[in-house]
Structure 1
Amino acid sequence: MKKNKNIILCGYMASGKSTVGKVLADKLHLKYIDLDKEIERKIQLPIPEIFEEMGEIFFRKKESEVLKEILQEKDKVISLGGGTPVYGNNLGLIKSDRENILVYLKVNLEILTGRLWNEKNKRPLLSFLNHREDLEEYIRKHMFERNFYYLQSNLIIETNSLLPEEIADEIIKNLK
């Protein structure tokens, strides 16, 4: 891969952005940054507490601010939060630098529902959902709204049956 680029992973919650991001960065010998972890580090609170104490609008503003900072340096793999490309001018900010490569990790509804059902209590946007069917409908609605943004990625990887290492290899193959 040519230097002076950032590879930025986007996709819905539980699509594997963090897991794949770490594997990809390791394979490419690049620094890895998880945007949510960076926000937690700067505010010194976990994401659920940020949402609870300060609200989603505060979180989204901070998310944009931290994203802007992170994008200043190159040669990184960055995992975005599921909603990052949708809010404010985040997608425009990412796309404004042609050296940024935005990769959409596309996962089908059934797999996302299964993954998120098992961890919904750790995710502030899902904790109010009490039935699996409600979760599936919630994801379906969000995916409909977010696909417009996700589909503007430079690269779309269908990840349904792939292991994180295979997804990273597929990204690397498509970077050449």
Structure 2
Amino acid sequence: MKIVLVGYMGSGKTTIGKLLAKKLKISFLDLDEVIEERLEDSISDIFNGKGEIFFRKKEHEYLNDVLTQKNNFILSTGGGTPCYSGNMDTMLELADYVFYLKISIPGLVKRLILEKEQRPLIKNIDDGDLPEFIGKHLFERNNFYLKANHIIECDNKDPKALVDEIKGLLA
């Protein structure tokens, strides 16, 4: 079984992915970690040193590698992964399930404000400007996210409840 989690940064893809993998007794992969391991560099250094186009090409290549070479895993993607290089169509074609972990803008702001230092994309954005930034980004990405097989509403639900909800949707 191949399960892919998509959603905006801070939506809980890694947290839910790890818990779900443990419950299903299958491996967990984080696409960003796969990229960092293969390129022996951090995502932010790759972006800063080689640029976004290089990063997106490698992201597409490694996504295809993971989806075609491995079996029985949960894959957490980067927030932008579904939006480039036909990646969402690739995920829908090669994975058994694609889940969109959907959270409201206020919910994302509440989570991300606490993690700004670790998030290069929003590190330098004033707290007051964060809702508008996230809203604009979500508007641009939503058409990709909404192609997922299942949309999981995540606001005001604890991780265990979300894992149980996702598990209930697996055939």
What is the TM-score normalised by the length of structure 2?
Answer: 0.95
Supply the distance in 1 between the matched residues of 2:67 and 2:4 (Cα, whole angstroms).
Answer: 10
- 1:124 Cα deviation after fit: 2.0
- Aligned letter for 1:62? K
Tell me the SS of whatever aligns to 2:64. helix
Supply the distance in 2 between the matched residues of 1:40 and 1:145 (Cα, whole angstroms).
Answer: 26
Structure 2 residue runs without a partner (length 5+): none
Supply the distance in 2 between the matched residues of 1:144 and 1:55 (Cα, whole angstroms).
Answer: 24
Tell me the SS of whatever aligns to 1:71. helix
Supply the distance in 2 between the matched residues of 1:121 and 1:48 (Cα, whole angstroms).
Answer: 12
Structure 1 residue runs without a partner (length 5+): none
2:19 is equivalent to residue 23 of structure 1: yes
Cross-structure match for 1:81: 78
2:43 is equivalent to residue 38 of structure 1: no
Supply the distance in 2 between the matched residues of 1:79 and 1:100 (Cα, whole angstroms).
Answer: 14
Equivalent pair of 1:51/1:124 in contact (CA under 8 Å): no
Equivalent pair of 1:121/1:127 in contact (CA under 8 Å): yes
- 1:58 Cα deviation after fit: 1.3
Runs of 4+ in 1 over 3 A off after TM superposition: none
Cross-structure match for 2:128: 133
Supply the distance in 2 between the matched residues of 1:111 and 1:68 (Cα, whole angstroms).
Answer: 31
Supply the distance in 1 between the matched residues of 2:132 and 2:52 (Cα, whole angstroms).
Answer: 21
- 1:91 Cα deviation after fit: 0.9
2:55 is equivalent to residue 59 of structure 1: yes
2:91 to 91, 94, 116: 94
State the Cα RMSD in Å: 1.2
- Aligned letter for 2:89? G
Supply the distance in 2 between the matched residues of 1:41 and 1:69 (Cα, whole angstroms).
Answer: 14
- 1:127 Cα deviation after fit: 2.3
Supply the distance in 2 between the matched residues of 1:123 and 1:49 (Cα, whole angstroms).
Answer: 13
Alignment length (residue pairs): 170
Cross-structure match for 1:123: 119
